[in-house]
Amino acid sequence: MLFRQLEYFVALARERHFARAASACHASQPALSEAIRKLEHELKVPLVRRGQKFEGLTPEGERLVHWARRILADRDALKLEVTALQTGLVGELRLGVVPAAATTVALLTDPFCAEHPLVRVRLETNLRSAEIVERIVRFELDAGILYPDHDTAELLVTPLYQEQQVLVVGGELLTGKSDTMSWSEALELPLCLLTEGMRGRRVIDDALDTQGLAVAPQLETDSVATLLAHVATGRWASIVPQTWIRILGVPAGASVLRLHNPSVTAPMVLVTNAAEPGSVVTRALVQTAANQRIYEA
């Protein structure tokens, strides 16, 4: 069995198309097909359902592709471990992040890069929690920052911080000098919020539901930065994670108020594959998260 055969097999499972898989592996389609046939012969089970085109993996293939991904991940981790012993930490860290943590991730990646200047970090900052979990299990991401509301049983979970929702109010809307506001009062303001169904929006909707309240914002978007830009006009209010305010600052002329009855928080965690011993780069990231006192509310 050759690593190259496993690479072809994993690529085909990912691309679900012979030509695209061959292109991704910088190989010809006949070479890829023949390598997979030899792998099937060696394992003595069919891996691919073939017709005029790729028709999916066999049940055996669906089970064995996980082992192929694990073997390749362990090979890469072994190479990085040896290199780290010789010259220090090098390689690539693939980190998936939910949109709500797109700014706060810098508080982790900046010290990590300072500690390990030879490691390249590739960030994807517009992923949903479920996709991050799935891609870590498939060894397509090394780590993720997300809300722990999906099945993370197969992952190592490191708590990062508690995300607190705050009200950001444009200068033309706020009267008086209060530093808090009730949810019912907030609903009387012209609100712009995250799109319904996004995790950051569900936190708000769930909090309102406990009070028998509901919100119907005039403007919805999938970007917290866009919400803050509207607040900066002076004529909008929004409810956003406090961590965004800490990083980007308060929009000009706006005020930040605590919401009470109830005060709403949500945990944010770092997740990595729990397989031992794991990648030396991933272990270094977890160590950086543990060492940094950067996520306190």
Domains in the chain: ranges and CATH = 3-71 (1.10.10.10), 162-266 (3.40.190.290)
Average pLDDT over the chain, rounded to an integer:
87
The confidence score (pLDDT) of residue 270 equals 94
More confident residue, 105 or 126: 105
The confidence score (pLDDT) of residue 285 equals 94
The least confident of 70-79, 100-109, 209-218 is 70-79
Instruction: Check pLDDT > 90 for residue 145.
Output: yes
Using a cut of 0.85, tell me whether the model's pTM lies above it.
no
Confidence label for 293 from pLDDT (cuts 50, 70 and 90): low
Instruction: Check pLDDT > 60 for residue 297.
Output: no
The confidence score (pLDDT) of residue 177 equals 61
Instruction: Check pLDDT > 60 for residue 296.
Output: no
Structure tokens at 203: 């936190």
Q: What percent of the chain has pLDDT over 70?
A: 96
More confident residue, 168 or 277: 168
The confidence score (pLDDT) of residue 70 equals 84
297, with CB counted inside 10 A (0-12, 13-18, 19+), is exposed
Q: For the residues 127-135, what does the mean pLDDT come to?
A: 90
The least confident of 71-75, 130-134, 138-142, 219-223 is 71-75
More confident residue, 127 or 278: 127
Q: How do residues 50-97 score in pLDDT, each as one tens digit?
A: 877 888 899 988 889 888 988 888 888 888 777 776 667 888 999 999
More confident residue, 173 or 271: 271
Instruction: Check pLDDT > 80 for residue 150.
Output: no
Closest by CA position to 251, among listed 279, 228, 278: 228
Q: How do residues 9-46 score in pLDDT, each as one tens digit?
A: 999 999 989 899 999 999 998 999 999 999 998 999 99
The confidence score (pLDDT) of residue 111 equals 93
User: What single-letter amino acid sits at 127?
Assistant: L
